[in-house]
Amino acid sequence: MEIAEELARQQKAISVAEFFEKNRQILGFDSAPRALITCVKEAVDNSLDACEDAGILPDILVQIKRAGEGYQVVVEDNGPGIVPDEMPRVFAKLLYGSRFHALKQSRGQQGIGISAAVLYSQLTSGKPTKVISKITPGRKAHFCDLMINTSQNDPEILAEGDIDWERPRGTRVELEMEGSYIRGRRQSTYGYLKNVSIVNPHARITLVEPDGNTETFERATEAMPKQAYAIPPHPAGIELGELMKLLRYTGKKKLGRFLKETFSSIGAITAQELCSLAELDPERTPQSLGHDESKRLLAAFKQAKVKSPPVDCLSPIGEALVKAGLEKEYSLDFIATITRQVSVFSGNPFLVEIGLGYGGELGKEGRIEILRFANRVPLVYQQGACAVTHAVEGMSWKNYSLAQPTGNGVPVGPVVLLVHVASTNIPFTSESKDAIADMPEILEEIDLGLKDVARKLRRYLSRQSVLSERREKEEIIMKILPRIAKKLSDILEEPEPDISSVVAKVMGNILIKRSFKQENGLTWVTLHVENNSEVIRSFKIHDVLTCEASSVAPVAKAVPIGNGYDYHWKLSLGPGERTNLSYRVRSEGVTFSEPVIEGLGNEVVTGARVI
C-alpha cells in the first residue's frame, strides 16, 4: 500500500461536537468560574429571545446549587415553551437553530450556545441535562434527559415523558457541571445578570445563589422592546462566492427580478441601473451568469448608489430605557443617554446606544466602569480587545471634564459608561463573543455617541460648579456677613448695619430697598432698585398700598384691589443699573408690606417677595 493510500485511510470527518469537546475555550468555557457564567448566559439569552419572540414579558429564575464537587445550574423562564419533538435538537445538537439565516438583531445566532453548555455539562459531570417545557396551560409539561452523541453531533434521549409542572408555560433547564461560583465582582453570575437587567429593563430576573441568598433584578418597564424584523441581505455586504451561490439557487427566472427580490434596498430602478452598469441583460436567467459576469455584477453593487438597509431589523433599547436601566442598578447624580441613528458596515445595519452615569456612589479615584453590550448581551471578558474600549481610550476626555492621567486610555472619575451595539451581525473578534472587532464604521459611531454624552456631562458639571459657587456665596451671606456686622456694631457700640445692599452685591442679586421721608404730614416713599447681576433683568415690581398714592414716578399701573391699590412698574435693568420708584402718601394710617417682584427666581432677589 502506498503511503498516500495509508494516510488516506486515517482521514475522517470530525463532528463539530467533537471539535468543540477538544476546543472548549473557543466557546467561553476556558476556566471554572467562566464556565458557570457562560452556562447561565447561554440559557438566559435563549429565554429572553424566546420570550421576546412570543411577546411575553420575561420572568426568569436562575438558581445555582452545590451538587457534589460541582454545581447545578437551573434556568427557568415563562416563555412560549418548546414542542416535545424539537427539545432534543435545540438542546443537544450543535449548530441547530432558527436564527442563523435570518438577518435581524437577536442575542444568539449560530445555535451553538445552549448545546455547548450541555456538552460542557456532560463532559465535566458525566450527567445528562434535564429539560422541562410546557407550551400551554392545558397540557402537561414534557421532560427530556439529554446527552449529545459527540461523534455524530446528535441528541441522545436518556429518558422522556410527561410530568406535572406548576408553571402555565415556559422552559426549565437543569445542568450539572464543574465550575466555581464567584461573588462580588463584575465577572460573576451576579454581575452578569445585573448587567443583563440594565439593558433588558423589561425583564425580571431572580437569582438564587448557592447559599440560598436571593437577588431580584426588577423590571423598569412593562413595555416590550420593539420587535426586530428579518430583512433580506443588503448588496453592500455580499461577497462574490455568496452572490454566485444566490444566483445559482434562486427560483427567479430573470436577473432583474432576482435582484429586486433577493436583496433589501433594491427596487426596479436600482435593479435596472445595476444591470446596465454590469452590462447584463435583466431578462437573462440568473443561473446563466458565469464567473466574470458575476464579478461585474458585484462591481456594480459597489458602484451604484444603493440606499441603506431598512432599520426595522434592529431593536434599540431607547434613550429613556437606557436611563431607567442605569437608574435602577446604580445610585447616580446624573445620566446622559444617546441612541444614534442606524448606520451600516459591510452591508450590516447597526446602531450604537450610550448611557453615561455620573456621581452618586461611584468611586472618584479609579478608572471609569465600562459596561459593554452587543445585542443586549453583556460582554464581560476581554475588555481590552474590544472596539468599545478602544473608542473610549481614543477620546480626549480632558476636554469633557474627566481626568485622563496618561493623555489617552480609560479616563478616571465617578462614571459608569454603558455602550450597546446592536446589529444584524455583530462582528466579534472570536467565537466566544467577548469583544467587538474594530470596524472603522462602528468605532466612529461609538466615538460620536461618546462625544454626545460627554458634552452633556460637561454641561452638567459646569452647571454644578455654578451651583457650588452659589452655595459658597450663600455661606458668606448666611453665616459670615451677619457676624461681621454684629461684631462691628459691638466694637463701635452702634446699631447693626443694614447688610442687604452688600448681600445683593455679593450674590449678584436684584436689590429692592424702601426709604421714607416725612414732609407736612405726607410721606415720600422711594423704592431703590438695583441690578447687581451681570445680565439684563426684566421684571415687575408691585407695591400694595392701603390708600391711594400721588406723584407716582415713574408712572405706575394702579389696580384697585380689596381695600387698597396694587401699584406696579415694569422694569428692565442692565448690569449694574439702578433706578428709583417714588410716590407720596399721607402719613396717617398707611401700612406698608414687603414689595413684591414678579418674573424672577427667588434666588436672585434681595429685599422683596417673589411671586
Partner 1 sequence: MEKDSITKDKLMGMARALYGQFQEGIVPYLALPSRTKGNIEYSSKEDVWVYGDQETLRSVKTVRGAKSLLKTVHLVELLIKEHLANNRGSTLREIYYISENWDIAKFPEQAESDRLIEDLEIVTGLHREDFHVRPEEDGAAIFGPLRIREQTRRGDREMHCQEDVGEAGYQIPFNVDSVKFLSHDAKMVLAIETGGMYARLVENGFDDEFDAVLIHLKGQPARSTRRIIRRLNMELNLPVVVFTDGDPWSYRIFASVAYGAIKSAHLSEQLATPSAKFLGVQPADIVKYDLSTDKLTDKDIHALRSELTDPRFDTEYWRGQIQLQLDMKRKAEQQAFAGKGLDYVTKTYLPERLSELGII
Shortest Cβ distance from residue 511 to partner 1 (Å)? 8
Q: Which has the closest alpha carbon to 76: 173, 153, 175, 179?
A: 173
Q: State yes or no: residue 516 binds partner 1 (CB under 8 A).
A: no
Instruction: CB nearer to partner 1: give 367 or 473.
Output: 473
Instruction: CB nearer to partner 1: give 429 or 501.
Output: 501
Q: Which of 230, 320, 506, 590 binds partner 1 (CB under 8 A)?
A: 506
Q: Which of 13, 479, 560, 561 binds partner 1 (CB under 8 A)?
A: 479
Tell me how crowded residue 313 is: count the other CB atoms within 10 A of its CB: 25
Tell me how crowded residue 471 is: count the other CB atoms within 10 A of its CB: 9
Q: State yes or no: residue 534 binds partner 1 (CB under 8 A).
A: no
Backbone region of residue 59 per phi and psi (left: phi > 0; alpha: psi in -120 to 50; beta: other values): beta
Shortest Cβ distance from residue 475 to partner 1 (Å)? 6
Q: Are 88 and 144 in contact (CB under 8 A)?
A: yes
Instruction: Return the range that interacts with partner 1 (CB under 8 A); candidates 214-222, 286-294, 297-305, 471-479.
Output: 471-479
Shortest Cβ distance from residue 503 to partner 1 (Å)? 10
Q: Tell me the sheet residues that pair with 271.
A: none
| Cell reading at 563 | 381695600
Q: Which of 218, 261, 441, 498 binds partner 1 (CB under 8 A)?
A: 498
Q: State yes or no: residue 515 binds partner 1 (CB under 8 A).
A: no
**Whole-number Cα distances in Å, 124 to 29, 32, 37, 177, 216:** 11, 10, 15, 6, 29
Q: State yes or no: residue 476 binds partner 1 (CB under 8 A).
A: yes
Shortest Cβ distance from residue 383 to partner 1 (Å)? 43
Instruction: CB nearer to partner 1: give 441 or 490.
Output: 490
Q: Cβ-count burial of 501 within 10 angstroms (0-12 exposed, 13-18 middle, 19+ buried)?
A: middle
Q: Which of 240, 403, 478, 480 binds partner 1 (CB under 8 A)?
A: 480
Helix, strand or coil for residue 603? Answer: helix
Shortest Cβ distance from residue 465 to partner 1 (Å)? 15
Q: Are strands 70-77 and 154-163 parallel, antiparallel or unpaired?
A: unpaired
Q: Which has the closest alpha carbon to 333: 195, 457, 420?
A: 457
Instruction: CB nearer to partner 1: give 65 or 528.
Output: 528
Instruction: Return the range that interacts with partner 1 (CB under 8 A); candidates 31-39, 242-250, 401-409, 467-475.
Output: 467-475
Shortest Cβ distance from residue 525 to partner 1 (Å)? 19
Length of the chain, in residues: 611
| Cell reading at 382 | 476581554
Q: Which element (helix H / strand E) includes 419?
A: strand 415-423
- DSSP result, 169-236: SEEEEEEEE------SSSSSHHHHHHHHHHH-TT-EEEEE-TTS-EEEE--S-SSPPPPPPPBPPPGG
The Cα–Cα gap between 554 and 545 comes to: 17
How would you write 422-481 as a 3-class SS string?
A: EECCCCECCCCCCCECCCHHHHHHHHHHHHHHHHHHHHHHHHHHHHHHHHHHHHHHHHHH
Instruction: CB nearer to partner 1: give 218 or 472.
Output: 472
Instruction: CB nearer to partner 1: give 51 or 507.
Output: 507
**Number of H-type helices and E-type strands within the chain:** 15, 24
Shortest Cβ distance from residue 471 to partner 1 (Å)? 10
Shortest Cβ distance from residue 508 to partner 1 (Å)? 10
Q: Which of 501, 526, 546, 579 binds partner 1 (CB under 8 A)?
A: 501
Q: Are 596 and 578 in contact (CB under 8 A)?
A: no
Shortest Cβ distance from residue 504 to partner 1 (Å)? 8
Q: Which of 23, 216, 331, 489 binds partner 1 (CB under 8 A)?
A: 489
Q: State yes or no: residue 478 binds partner 1 (CB under 8 A).
A: no
Q: State yes or no: residue 483 binds partner 1 (CB under 8 A).
A: yes
**Whole-number Cα distances in Å, 55 to 23, 203, 348, 434, 569:** 36, 12, 25, 28, 62
Q: State yes or no: residue 472 binds partner 1 (CB under 8 A).
A: yes
* DSSP code, position 412: B
What's the gap between Cα 298 and its chain centre?
A: 37
What's the gap between Cα 231 and its chain centre?
A: 24
Q: Which of 1, 4, 13, 492 binds partner 1 (CB under 8 A)?
A: 492
Instruction: Return the range that interacts with partner 1 (CB under 8 A); candidates 395-403, 503-511, 559-567, 590-598.
Output: 503-511
Q: State yes or no: residue 470 binds partner 1 (CB under 8 A).
A: no
Q: Which of 66, 398, 487, 570 binds partner 1 (CB under 8 A)?
A: 487
Shortest Cβ distance from residue 339 to partner 1 (Å)? 43
Instruction: CB nearer to partner 1: give 89 or 528.
Output: 528
Q: For the packed helices 113-125 and 32-53, what is the interaxial angle rounded to 10 degrees? A: 140
Q: State yes or no: residue 558 binds partner 1 (CB under 8 A).
A: no
Shortest Cβ distance from residue 518 to partner 1 (Å)? 21
Count of chain residues binding partner 1 (CB under 8 A): 25
Instruction: CB nearer to partner 1: give 210 or 497.
Output: 497
Q: State yes or no: residue 463 binds partner 1 (CB under 8 A).
A: no
Q: State yes or no: residue 490 binds partner 1 (CB under 8 A).
A: yes
Q: Where are the alpha helices (H) located in 227-358, listed in sequence order?
A: 240-249, 255-262, 268-277, 291-303, 319-329
Q: State yes or no: residue 465 binds partner 1 (CB under 8 A).
A: no
Instruction: CB nearer to partner 1: give 344 or 510.
Output: 510
Q: State yes or no: residue 514 binds partner 1 (CB under 8 A).
A: no
How would you write 133-165 as a 3-class SS string?
A: EECCCCCCEEEEEEEEECCCCEEEEEEEEEECC
Q: Which of 253, 302, 463, 505 binds partner 1 (CB under 8 A)?
A: 505
Q: Which has the closest alpha carbon to 62: 192, 185, 219, 179?
A: 192
Q: State yes or no: residue 499 binds partner 1 (CB under 8 A).
A: yes
Tell me how crowded residue 480 is: count the other CB atoms within 10 A of its CB: 10
Instruction: Return the range that interacts with partner 1 (CB under 8 A); candidates 149-157, 204-212, 448-456, 502-510.
Output: 502-510
Q: State yes or no: residue 497 binds partner 1 (CB under 8 A).
A: yes
Q: Taking CB under 8 A as the rule, which mask of x and - marks residues 222-261 in contact with partner 1?
A: ----------------------------------------
Q: Is the peptide bond before 137 cis (omega within 30 degrees of 0)?
A: no
Instruction: CB nearer to partner 1: give 441 or 474.
Output: 474
The Cα–Cα gap between 298 and 5 comes to: 42
- Positions touching partner 1 (CB under 8 A) are 472-473, 475-476, 479-481, 483-485, 487-492, 494, 497-499, 501-502, 504-506
